[in-house]
Amino acid sequence: MDITILFPVLNEKRRLKNGIVTTVEYLRENCNVPCKLMILDNGSTDETPEIAEELCKMYEEVTYVRVEERGVGVAFREGIKRNTSDIVGYMDIDLSTNIKHLGEAIRIFENREDVEYINGTRFSRQSDTQGRKWYRKITSKGLLILLKSILKMKSTDAVCGFTFMRKRVADELIEVSGNENGWFYTVEMLLRAERGGIRIMDMPVEWQEDYNTTVKLWKTIRNYLMQIKRLYREFKKEDKANAKKS
């Protein structure tokens, strides 16, 4: 078994090197499976490309891909299409999710054939979330309530920034998911995995807020609301079509 870890980045000159170096060193010390790290650059205009090229020279495990169109969804799709490993997933470059969970996820996939998809969650009772600002807690909980009430999501978190799945599952999900370019693309993949009967493990994580995040909160919220409306309509049509077939 081998694994590819995707790191979507945009203008991450301050955090890129630390994120990659920390991950490579952790994997070399704690994991005995072949691991690859793929930096997916969404059109950075700072020194991110130069830093990424330097990291590729430092570590044979690291590759750099320039994705001219911006958006995490675009980067994630591109990474899955390029992936050749048995397991593929993504982590935030700020490593907000404790990196020890990467080793845990690898061991789960090694030892449990029944697990097809691991979804990191900050909202399990076993999770430990630190430094979360009050307004981000409200927006995260609000999104969760909407996803559960409108789109019937079963998982306890949707945008933790820690998701891994088997290659077959990843390939299938990008075929049935839309072309949304932002963070909601990963939410749609999770929802479609649930609807498709994919065996998902909600993994409680230790998670630390990064105060230097580049996420534009209100723009992201507006986009989430639009995408929830879109998916509600799509799921309704799909359910009607399936009901007719049966």
Query: Residues 54-113: pLDDT tens digits?
Result: 999 999 999 999 998 898 899 999 999 999 999 999 999 999 999 999 999 999 999 999
Give residue 54's identity as a one-letter amino acid code.
E
Q: Is the pLDDT of residue 134 over 70?
A: no
- Which is more confident, 196 or 211? 196
pLDDT of 138: 77
Q: Into how many domains does the chain fold?
A: 1
| pLDDT band (50, 70, 90) for residue 51 | very high
pLDDT of 96: 93
Q: Supply the mean pLDDT for the chain.
A: 92
Q: How far apart are CA 107 and CA 87, in angstroms?
A: 11
Sign of CA dihedral 135, 137, 140, 146: negative
Give 138-145 contacts, CB < 8 A, sequence gap 24+: 139/217, 139/221, 143/221, 143/224
Q: What is the pTM of this model?
A: 0.92
- Which is more confident, 188 or 218? 188
Range(s) of the domain holding residue 141 = 3-245
Query: Which CATH number covers residue 140?
Result: 3.90.550.10
Percent of the chain whose predicted confidence (pLDDT) is above 70: 96
Tokens 């981000």 map to which residue?
136
Q: Is the pLDDT of residue 214 over 70?
A: no
Q: Is the pLDDT of residue 186 over 70?
A: yes
Helical segments of the chain, H only: 16-30, 48-58, 72-82, 100-111, 134-150, 167-176, 184-195, 217-245
- Which is more confident, 212 or 135? 135
